[in-house]
A and B are shown apart, each in its own frame.
Chain A
């Protein structure tokens, strides 16, 4: 089952209830910003701290993810990347994305779209550039063009 708008809302609301500090990142983040493309997974940049990890585990349980005690401990105490396919939809949890100095940096310039916290396009691009995967290199020119478009739209909306 692909990730749906309703599920994105459930993530947003469950994470808000538990005060999880997170941002949509990757192509899923770009799609929330308006980028027309396809993807398979939702990628979440989650602040890496035990407190936030505990809140995250609670939120994941409330969404229906089936985590063992060992998996919960890993999420709370620090992995850089966790792939979840043990719930109602797939989630990639990224605690230290390539190309972004810190969660605080990304949070300082993040964007809200219908209540969804999303990384700024510059951070999405920086992480994809730094990851340097074949599939990212192919998509980067179009994503960079979208970034320019999005920035122009922001400037226009400020002047209206």
Chain B
């Protein structure tokens, strides 16, 4: 059905990111417990998962530790093109 048709239902969320909004609408129809079951996953993260406890005096220290110790592909390092 085209939006130009006079009796066409108005989109709930007329937004440019309509595919994403359709996903958000679908998620909103699920109970929270179901959403969480789909959302939380567990995979081994090298280095990061190898200690039972870590602490950092500052977020800067934590970011530096991630940059210097974790594999780049984990994505914890600074974004490319950033200072």
CB < 8 Å neighbour of B38 from A36, A82, A96: A36
The reply on A34 being an interface residue by CB < 8 A is: yes
> Which residues from A are CB-within-8-Å of B28?
34, 153
**Most chain B Cβ neighbours within 10 Å, of A32, A40, A135:** A40
Tally of contact residues, A, Cβ under 8 A: 52
Determine how close the nearest CB of chain A comes to the CB of B62; give it in whole angstroms: 5
The reply on B54 being an interface residue by CB < 8 A is: yes
**Once bound together, how far apart are the Cα atoms of A74 and B19, in whole Å?**
45
B55→A38 contact, CB < 8 A: no
B32-70 at interface with A (beta carbon < 8 Å): 32-33, 35-43, 45, 48-49, 51-59, 61-63, 66
Render A74-107 as a binary contact track against B, CB cut-off 8 A, 1 for contact.
1100011111111000000010111000000000
The reply on B2 being an interface residue by CB < 8 A is: no
A31→B39 contact, CB < 8 A: yes
A40→B35 contact, CB < 8 A: no
Contact-residue bracket for chain B: 35 or more
A145→B17 contact, CB < 8 A: yes
- The binding surface of chain A is classed by DSSP as mixed
CB < 8 Å neighbour of A145 from B20, B40, B55: B20
The reply on A154 being an interface residue by CB < 8 A is: no
**Most chain A Cβ neighbours within 10 Å, of B33, B39, B40, B43:** B40
B36→A82 contact, CB < 8 A: no
The reply on A16 being an interface residue by CB < 8 A is: no
> Which residues from A are CB-within-8-Å of B52?
66, 84-86
**Once bound together, how far apart are the Cα atoms of A97 and B56, in whole Å?**
12
A contacts, CB < 8 Å to B:
1-5, 8, 28, 31-32, 34-40, 42, 66-67, 71, 74-75, 79-86, 94, 96-98, 113-114, 131-138, 142, 145-146, 148-150, 152-153
B contacts, CB < 8 Å to A:
13, 15, 17, 20-21, 23-24, 26-28, 32-33, 35-43, 45, 48-49, 51-59, 61-63, 66, 72, 74-80, 82
- Supplied contacts A4-B37, A85-B51, A145-B24, 11 more A-B pairs, CB within 8 Å: A5-B32, A32-B32, A35-B24, A36-B26, A36-B39, A40-B40, A71-B55, A81-B59, A83-B48, A114-B32, A134-B76
